[in-house]
Structure 1
Amino acid sequence: MLNFSDIQPIRDDTPSIKVVGVGGGGGNAVNRMIQSGVQGVEFIAANTDLQDLRKSLAPQKLQIGSQCSRGLGAGAKPEIGRNAALESIDEIRDSLQGADMVFLAAGMGGGTGTGGTPVVAQVAQDMKALTVGVVTLPFNFEAKRRRKVASGGVNELRDRVDTLIVVPNENLFSIINRRTPMTEAFGYADDVLRQGVQGISDLITRDGLVNLDFADVRTVMANKGKAVMGTGLASGENRARHAAEQALHSPLLNDNRIDGARGILINVVGGVSMGMQEVDEASTFIKEHGHKNAEIIWGAAINPDFEDQMMITVIATGFDENDEAAEKKSVASIPAMPFDALAETKDKS
């Protein structure tokens, strides 16, 4: 088994990646990322609620709309969230200066996240940053208006980002039981947002055995249509295969399918015992589930803290346009049953 522990790659071209948590839900997701030790990115919290903002762990805190909201929040009204972001657009632009890639984390359905996130996204796009939205949708038991507001927010945000990953909170019921505390349950959703950010940022910021540069990520995430994301973690015998299976069948992401994907990005992380054959096994398994002519881009890194574990992150893109239209329709209609966490990519011109 090949041992990679003594290889020390050199990187001096790391792009600037910024993560912006917009509103309360986005702020919670950013806190989760910071607590989990996500590295190689700059964190920003943007909120109309000054009290909530003061509790943020983000090094950079941005109060938006101090005049229109007076620091009291958006009152679940997206128009206030939008106006707040527009009022503070110069500050938002300043905070994103120099970013090559911008992640936007938010909960759809409220005021600040729903109304403000598309404005922040547009600023990032105008600054030519690769822009990725990672957002959650309300539970089906929540008010119809909130779910309708969330749907509108997703559709508006879709037109202002390169890639959009949507995580329905409804899918939490597939991984929790009746006695799971609410704080723990929402932590699972926050962790999916973290996985989305970390899985992508690690590919281009961490030293690896096989490094992916920023152009590689653009190749998969820009101008490729709908995309899906999944992460798997396994240990022991057959860990590579099991981690790959988990990445393709995450319950919280509603069992993502990559059938027909013409672009697949794979990141493999393991302890010093991880072998090249294991990386090949996992990559081959994932490739077999995509389009026969899929372009495969992969990276691999050693993290001694993983010991016997292997973690695999998959981002699949380039699906049929008819599938995209169906996904857009399902978001707009707010179905009673959970639907796939999806990502949609538009042409960046």
Structure 2
Amino acid sequence: MGFKIQEAMTPTGAKIKVVGVGGAGGNMVNHMINFGINGVEMVVANTDTKALHSNQATTKIQIGEKTTRGLGAGMVPDVGKQSAVESFDELKSSLMDSDIVFIAAGLGGGTGTGAAPIVAQAAKEVGALTVSVVTKPFKFEGKKRAYLADIGLEELKKESDSIIVIYNEKLLSIVEKNLGLKDSFRLVDDILARAVAGMCTVILQGGNNDISVDFADVRTVMSHRGLALMGVGESSGNNAAYEASKSAIESPLLDNLSINGALGVLVHFQIHPSYPLHEISEAMSMIEESADPNANVIFGTTTDENLDEHKVKVTIVATGFEKELSKKEHEISSSNLKLV
């Protein structure tokens, strides 16, 4: 089951598609749609027909109709994988002619964990730059879910050009302690959406006050195979761009890793049209000094007239952390319950 609209193309000529896989991925797509980003085609793929019907995406694909009969994967990744394999041709067809495909999923459940690597495989087969953006579970969700997430991440690595990992547990250190369960998961969806939205808006050519980059530059940064991390920051007042950038590169979401270990860095500034360019320049100088001298560093800006003229929001994506993260992932995996 699926339907499509005309493929979205950016003014730079790059065709961008975002695929939300499973429940968390679908929620992220809804958040991105609410952001109002143009020039990006939104796709959702799920085994759960109820979740599909309530999603706002323009392209909806029920995967595994025979495998699950529309009832979901029941936290069994093998069912999610089998469902995606069953619907592989439809998935691949929906991604044809894409230049870049972002795959969003929450790891640890059934559909996102099992199906996302198959969706990534389809994206690679059509020749698209394939960037996966995934979350790993909160600690309170249990060791089994953490274990399944680790296995799913290893499978996704094999099929993705780059993987941005957001550790839900790290979010707890940047939010109010009395934040409720529902709001905590909503925050996860929002951060996931912000990661993808930031990368999309860097590629998208904006108005007269925006600074965009070539898709070829983005491909260079995001083609550093392996794991990537994202940092976010915002600030108001004097030197807001500098302070927001400093917060982003020191963000808990970067998992205590310096961007000096990254091979590529993509920076997105969201600013008011009247925000002084020299402050952006000073912020970028600081970021470049923090990064490896040989790293590819690119940036873009998006102007928002509704934003306070003294406020700046920054998203930083750092890629090519393979050595540092492989060691850290091994340490994390070793602490999880081994299931048989």
| TM more than 0.5 | yes
Question: How many residues are aligned here?
Answer: 325
Cα offset, 1:35, TM superposition: 2.0
- Matched residue, 1:4: none
Instruction: Indicate if the aligned counterparts of 1:262 and 1:316 stay in contact, CA closer than 8 A.
Output: yes
Secondary structure of 1:286's aligned partner: helix
Q: Does 1:190 align with 2:189?
A: yes
Secondary structure of 1:305's aligned partner: coil
Cα offset, 1:221, TM superposition: 1.0
Q: Distance in 2 between matches of 1:289 and 1:335?
A: 33
Note the 1:219-298 alignment, pairs <5 A: 219-223=220-224, 225-298=226-299
- Matched residue, 2:7: none
Q: Which moved more, 1:61-70 or 1:187-196?
A: 187-196
Instruction: Indicate if the aligned counterparts of 1:48 and 1:73 stay in contact, CA closer than 8 A.
Output: yes
Cα offset, 1:210, TM superposition: 3.1
Q: Does 1:170 align with 2:172?
A: no
Cα offset, 1:331, TM superposition: 5.0
Q: Distance in 2 between matches of 1:252 and 1:316?
A: 11
Secondary structure of 2:232's aligned partner: strand
Q: Give the unaligned 5+ runs of structure 1.
A: 1-10, 337-349
Q: Give the unaligned 5+ runs of structure 2.
A: 1-9
Note the 1:34-49 alignment, pairs <5 A: 34-49=33-48
Instruction: Indicate if the aligned counterparts of 1:230 and 1:256 stay in contact, CA closer than 8 A.
Output: no
- Matched residue, 1:109: 108
- Matched residue, 1:311: 313
58 and 315 in structure 1: CA distance in 2 versus 1, 3 angstrom threshold: same
Secondary structure of 2:183's aligned partner: helix
Q: Distance in 2 between matches of 1:260 and 1:144?
A: 29
Q: Distance in 1 between matches of 2:234 and 2:252?
A: 13
Q: Aligned partner of 2:317: which letter? A: I
Instruction: Indicate if the aligned counterparts of 1:152 and 1:332 stay in contact, CA closer than 8 A.
Output: no
Deviation sequence 1:78-133 (CA, Å, 0-9, x none): 11101100111111111112211111111111111111010000000111101111
Q: Aligned partner of 2:21: which letter? A: V
**Larger RCO of the pair (alpha carbons < 8 Å, separation 6+):** 1
Identity %: 43
Instruction: Indicate if the aligned counterparts of 2:163 and 2:226 stay in contact, CA closer than 8 A.
Output: no
Q: Distance in 1 between matches of 2:256 and 2:191?
A: 13
TM-score if structure 1 supplies the norm length? 0.86
Q: Aligned partner of 2:287: which letter? A: I
Instruction: Indicate if the aligned counterparts of 1:148 and 1:334 stay in contact, CA closer than 8 A.
Output: no
- Matched residue, 1:28: 27
Deviation sequence 1:12-68 (CA, Å, 0-9, x none): 433111111111111111112222323321111111111121111112111110001
- Matched residue, 1:5: none
23 and 268 in structure 1: CA distance in 2 versus 1, 3 angstrom threshold: same
Q: Distance in 1 between matches of 2:262 and 2:23?
A: 34
Instruction: Indicate if the aligned counterparts of 1:137 and 1:167 stay in contact, CA closer than 8 A.
Output: yes
Secondary structure of 2:193's aligned partner: helix
Higher fraction of helix: 2
Note the 1:56-71 alignment, pairs <5 A: 56-71=55-70
Secondary structure of 2:108's aligned partner: coil
- Matched residue, 1:81: 80
Q: Which moved more, 1:92-101 or 1:110-119?
A: 92-101
Q: Distance in 2 between matches of 1:42 and 1:23?
A: 17
Instruction: Indicate if the aligned counterparts of 1:151 and 1:334 stay in contact, CA closer than 8 A.
Output: no
Q: Aligned partner of 1:126: which letter? A: E
Q: Cα RMSD between the aligned structures?
A: 2.1
Instruction: Indicate if the aligned counterparts of 1:109 and 1:150 stay in contact, CA closer than 8 A.
Output: yes
